[in-house]
Amino acid sequence: MVSARSSSPAPHAARGPALAARGRSAGLLALIAGLALAGCAQTQGPAGETASAPAAPAALSAPADPALADPAAVDPAAAALASAPIPESYQDLLDRHGVPFQVPAQGKAILVNVPSYELIAFEDGEPVIRSRVIVGRDVAGDRTPEMTTETSVVRFRPTWRPTPLMISRGDYEDKIWPPGRNNPLGLLAIRLEPGMLIYLHGTNRPELFEKEARALSGGCVRVERWDEVAAWVLDVDVDEVHRLANGPDTFDMQTAGVPVMMRYFTEFPDPQGQLQAYNDVYGQGGSAYAVAAQVAALD
């Protein structure tokens, strides 16, 4: 090898990598050295002959870290996540069970299903509150109607007067019931458009929610989780609902007009997503699908 400090002209044969520093950058040197290690470069021998560089050590040609190529190969949690099914939406669940109900994909909505005695509050297509309810008795004039409407106001500490039908049947005496816990509407009532006499409300007899068959009202829907539903409809904290419901005043709070759909499905998924069959409370006959087809005309 000829020293870089020699004043003698470099022999022609020395124009290989040994004297590449003359006129070449350090970066190019590093590139050439790397190529040589990888077995991609050639060197010149003394007579100008070329010879392949030695093969790269085995370690340099080892496969990449398997965790980089496939994290699931070394991480059981990642493997489980990769193989987990994509969660279905509530609408997918209904469709899979063949239940003919369309959940609004955006915003808030309420479904009351009479045969299952249940209220479901939906937000952006998914259930956020499920509550047991009491619906109208299977008596002419008392059956909870199938309809599509919307909330108007929440009336805190309502008064109540029986309907003429209730009075004529002797269900109640004709008087105005003052607000409070003994009022049949409970401590609040969610009123529905357009000025309907069917409400979603509390009750002065919460023990009735423990009954399996709950067709017991005069047509209104008594809601076990009335406070949570009202707070959700009004978009306020449930503690605020409790404070107002236990205050001294009777007054209304305007709502944003949450859609309310009262339906009659004798087959409907339970909270675990399993399809359940329910009693034909009002003796309408046929499957839930036939009934839903009739209700569709109301929408």
Q: Which residues are catalytic?
A: 201, 220
d(CA 253, CA 250): 10
Using CB atoms within 10 Å of the CB of residue 116, give its burial: 0 to 12 exposed, 13 to 18 middle, 19+ buried: buried
d(CA 270, CA 275): 6
- What amino acid is encoded at 264 in this protein? Y
Beta strands 259-263 and 108-113, pairing class: parallel
* SS3 label, residue 257: coil
Q: How far apart are CA 7 and CA 27, in angstroms?
A: 26
Q: What is the DSSP string of 35-60?
A: HHHTT--EEE-TTS-EEEPPPPPGGG
- Report CA-CA distances (Å) from 145 to 2, 79, 298: 105, 51, 11
124 to each of 89, 104, 113, 119, how far by Cα in Å? Answer: 10, 7, 19, 16
How many Cβ atoms sit within 10 Å of the Cβ of residue 100?
Answer: 17
Task: Give the contacts of 261 (CB within 8 A, at least 6 positions apart).
Answer: 101, 109, 110, 111, 112, 147, 148
Cα–Cα nearest to 188, from 134, 239, 148, 226: 226
SS3 154: strand
